[in-house]
Structure 1
Amino acid sequence: MTQPLIEELGEVIKSPKDPRSFRTLKLPNGLSVVCVQIPHSKKASASLAVRAGHFNDPLETQGLAHFLEHMLFLGNERFPDANEFPEFLSAYGGQQNAWTGSEFCNFFFDCQTRALSRALDYFSAMFMAPLFDESLINKERQSIDSEFRLKEKDELRRLYQVHKTTCNPEHPFSKFSVGNMDTLAESDSHSLKDQLSEFFRAFFNANNMRLTIVGAQPVDELAEMAQHYFSDISSGQENDPKSLEALPLYLPSQLGVFIQVKPVNPARRLIITLPLPGIDDDYKNKTTSFIAHILGYEGPHSLYATLRARGWVNSLSAGGGMSGSGYKDFNLNIQLTEAGVVHALQVAQAVFNYIQLIASSGLEAWRYEEKRLTSELSFHFQETPPAGELAPQLSVNAHHYPIHDVVYGDYRMDGLSVARAKQTLSLMAPERARITLIHGDVETDQQTELYHTPFSIRALTKEELNTLNSPAGTFSYQLPAQNPYITSHVEPYPLERELREPVALIKSDNVTIWHLQDPDFRVPKGHIYLNLESPAVNQSATHFAAARLWSELLIDSLNEALYDAEVAGLHFNIYPTQSGMTIHTMGLSAGQLPLLQQLMKQAWKVKFKRGRFNSVAQQLKHNWQSAHNNQPLNRLFAELNLTLQPCLFSLSDMAEGLNSLDYKGFSQLSSELFNSMGVSALIHGDWQAKTAFELHQLIRDSASGRLTASPPQLQPKRLEPHTHIHRTVEQATGDNAVLVYFQGDNDSAEQQITWMLAQQLLNASLFDELRTQRQLGYVVGSQYFPVRRLPGFMVFVQSPTHNTSALQEHIHTVLHDKIEQLDNVLTLQRWKHAKQTLSEQLTINDRSLRARSQRFWGAIQMAETHFDRNVEMSAALERLQLSDWISEVKRLVIKQPRKIVLLSCQ
Structure 2
Amino acid sequence: MPAPAHPHHLHLTLTNGLRVSLRHAPRLKRCAAVLRVAAGSHDVSLAWPGLAHFLEHLLFLGTERFPASEGLMAYVQRHGGEINASTRERTTDFFFELPVATFANGLERLADMLTHPRLAIEDQLREREVLHAEFVAWSQDAKAQQQVALLKGLAADHPLCGFHAGNRDSLPVEREAFQQALREFHAHFYQSGQMTLSLAGPQSLDELQALAQQFSEALASGPLHPQTEPPALMRGAAHAYQHAANHHQHHVIACDVPREALDFLCIWLNASAPGGLLAELKARKLASALQASVLYHFAGQALLDIDITLGAKGDSATQIEALLHDWLSFFVQSDWTPLREEFALLNARQQQIQGALALARNDSEDLSEQGVAALKRLLDSLHLPLCEHTWQLPPNNPFLRPPVKEERAGLIRGQTSAHRGLRTFAQDRSRGRRDVSALTFSQALAEDTDEGALYLQWRFDCAVPAGLENALQPLRENARQAGIELSFETLANDWRVKMVGLHEPMPAVVEALALNLSQSGEPPSPFTQTPMIAIRALLKALPAYCVGTGVGPSETPASWTTARWQGLGAGLPTTCAAAIKTATARLPGQPVTIEYTPQNLDGQRLWHEVKTESSEAALLLFCPTPTSSLDDEAAWRLLAHLLQGPFYQRLRVELQIGYAVFSGIRQINGQTGLLFGVQSPSASLAGIIEHLQTFLAQLPALIDNSADLGNQPLAEQLTAQALPIAQAADLLWHAHMSGHSSGYLEQLQALIQTRTREDLQHAARQLNDTAGGWRCVANGPPCEGFWQTAG
TM-score range, shorter chain: 0.7 to 0.9
Distance 1:75 1:565 in 2: 42
Instruction: Note the 1:789-800 alignment, pairs <5 A.
Output: 789-800=670-681
Specify the SS of the correspondent of 2:226: coil
Specify the SS of the correspondent of 1:227: helix
Q: Residue 307 of structure 1: CA displacement?
A: 1.5
Specify the SS of the correspondent of 1:169: coil
Residue type at the aligned position of 1:600: A
Distance 2:355 2:396 in 1: 32
Q: Residue 386 of structure 1: CA displacement?
A: 3.2
Q: Given the alignment, which residue of 308, 322, 325 partners 2:296?
A: 322
Q: Residue 775 of structure 1: CA displacement?
A: 1.5
Q: Residue 481 of structure 1: CA displacement?
A: 6.8
For the pair 1:479 / 2:479, whether they are aligned, the reply is no
What is the root-mean-square deviation of aligned Cα atoms in Å?
4.0
Residue type at the aligned position of 1:412: D
Q: Given the alignment, which residue of 223, 243, 253 partners 1:259?
A: 243
Instruction: Note the 1:635-714 alignment, pairs <5 A.
Output: 635-638=537-540, 640-647=542-549, 673-681=559-567, 689=575, 707=590, 710-714=592-596
Task: Identify which range, 678-687 or 800-809, moves more after superposition.
Answer: 678-687
Specify the alignment match of 2:632 in structure 1: 751
For the pair 1:248 / 2:232, whether they are aligned, the reply is yes
Distance 2:327 2:19 in 1: 44
Distance 1:578 1:145 in 2: 38
Residue type at the aligned position of 1:343: S
Q: Given the alignment, which residue of 605, 621, 632 partners 1:740?
A: 621
Specify the alignment match of 1:369 in structure 2: 338
For the pair 1:868 / 2:743, whether they are aligned, the reply is yes
Specify the SS of the correspondent of 1:358: helix
Q: Structure 1 residues 846, 840: closer, same or farther in 2, change over 3 A?
A: closer
Distance 2:287 2:550 in 1: 30
Distance 1:303 1:31 in 2: 44
Q: Structure 1 residues 297, 804: closer, same or farther in 2, change over 3 A?
A: closer
For the pair 1:886 / 2:761, whether they are aligned, the reply is yes
For the pair 1:113 / 2:92, whether they are aligned, the reply is no
Distance 2:233 2:53 in 1: 22
Specify the SS of the correspondent of 1:136: helix
**Contact 1:585/1:596, CA 8 A, preserved across alignment:** no
Instruction: Note the 1:10-49 alignment, pairs <5 A.
Output: 17-18=4-5, 25-37=12-24, 39=26, 43-49=30-36
Distance 2:500 2:647 in 1: 40
Specify the alignment match of 1:826 in structure 2: 706
Specify the SS of the correspondent of 2:222: coil
Specify the alignment match of 2:306 in structure 1: 332
TM-score (norm 1): 0.74
Distance 1:19 1:292 in 2: 25
**Contact 2:250/2:308, CA 8 A, preserved across alignment:** yes
Distance 1:571 1:93 in 2: 22
Structure 2 regions of 5+ residues with no counterpart?
Answer: 407-430, 782-791
Structure 1 regions of 5+ residues with no counterpart?
Answer: 1-14, 262-266, 281-285, 398-409, 430-468, 494-504, 658-664
Q: Per-residue CA shift, 1:432-467, capped at 9, x if unaligned?
A: xxxxxxxxxxxxxxxxxxxxxxxxxxxxxxxxxxxx
Q: Structure 1 residues 565, 794: closer, same or farther in 2, change over 3 A?
A: closer
Q: Per-residue CA shift, 1:863-894, capped at 9, x if unaligned?
A: 55x43211111121132122332233234325
For the pair 1:535 / 2:521, whether they are aligned, the reply is no
Q: Structure 1 residues 173, 573: closer, same or farther in 2, change over 3 A?
A: closer
For the pair 1:350 / 2:225, whether they are aligned, the reply is no
User: Matched residue pairs, number?
Assistant: 755
Specify the alignment match of 2:438 in structure 1: 512
Specify the alignment match of 2:55 in structure 1: 68
Specify the alignment match of 2:184 in structure 1: 198
Specify the alignment match of 2:376 in structure 1: 422
Residue type at the aligned position of 1:755: W
Distance 2:496 2:759 in 1: 42
Q: Per-residue CA shift, 1:634-677, capped at 9, x if unaligned?
A: 3443554343222499xxx99xx9xxxxxxx9xxx55x611224
Q: Structure 1 residues 681, 710: closer, same or farther in 2, change over 3 A?
A: closer
Residue type at the aligned position of 2:255: L
Distance 2:316 2:247 in 1: 12
Q: Residue 755 of structure 1: CA displacement?
A: 1.6
For the pair 1:138 / 2:125, whether they are aligned, the reply is yes
For the pair 1:718 / 2:600, whether they are aligned, the reply is yes
Instruction: Note the 1:180-579 alignment, pairs <5 A.
Output: 180-186=167-173, 190-215=176-201, 217-241=203-227, 243-244=228-229, 247-252=231-236, 255=239, 257-261=241-245, 267-279=246-258, 286-339=260-313, 341-359=314-332, 361-362=333-334, 364=335, 367-376=336-345, 378-379=347-348, 382-391=351-360, 393=361, 397=363, 410-415=364-369, 419-428=373-382, 476-480=389-393, 483=396, 485=398, 512-514=438-440, 520-521=447-448, 523=450, 530-531=456-457, 533-536=458-461, 539=462, 543-544=463-464, 547-550=465-468, 552-553=470-471, 555=472
Distance 1:379 1:852 in 2: 25
**Contact 1:166/1:254, CA 8 A, preserved across alignment:** no
**Contact 2:351/2:359, CA 8 A, preserved across alignment:** no
For the pair 1:898 / 2:751, whether they are aligned, the reply is no
Distance 2:248 2:593 in 1: 41
**Contact 2:276/2:394, CA 8 A, preserved across alignment:** no
Distance 1:482 1:790 in 2: 43
Distance 1:765 1:386 in 2: 29
TM-score (norm 2): 0.84
**Contact 1:27/1:231, CA 8 A, preserved across alignment:** no
Distance 2:267 2:337 in 1: 10
For the pair 1:96 / 2:83, whether they are aligned, the reply is yes
Distance 1:485 1:298 in 2: 14
Q: Residue 137 of structure 1: CA displacement?
A: 0.8
For the pair 1:606 / 2:520, whether they are aligned, the reply is yes
Q: Per-residue CA shift, 1:734-757, capped at 9, x if unaligned?
A: 211233333211011111111211
Q: Given the alignment, which residue of 644, 653, 663 partners 1:782?
A: 663
**Contact 1:643/1:717, CA 8 A, preserved across alignment:** no
Q: Residue 759 of structure 1: CA displacement?
A: 1.8
Q: Residue 164 of structure 1: CA displacement?
A: 4.2
Q: Residue 141 of structure 1: CA displacement?
A: 0.7
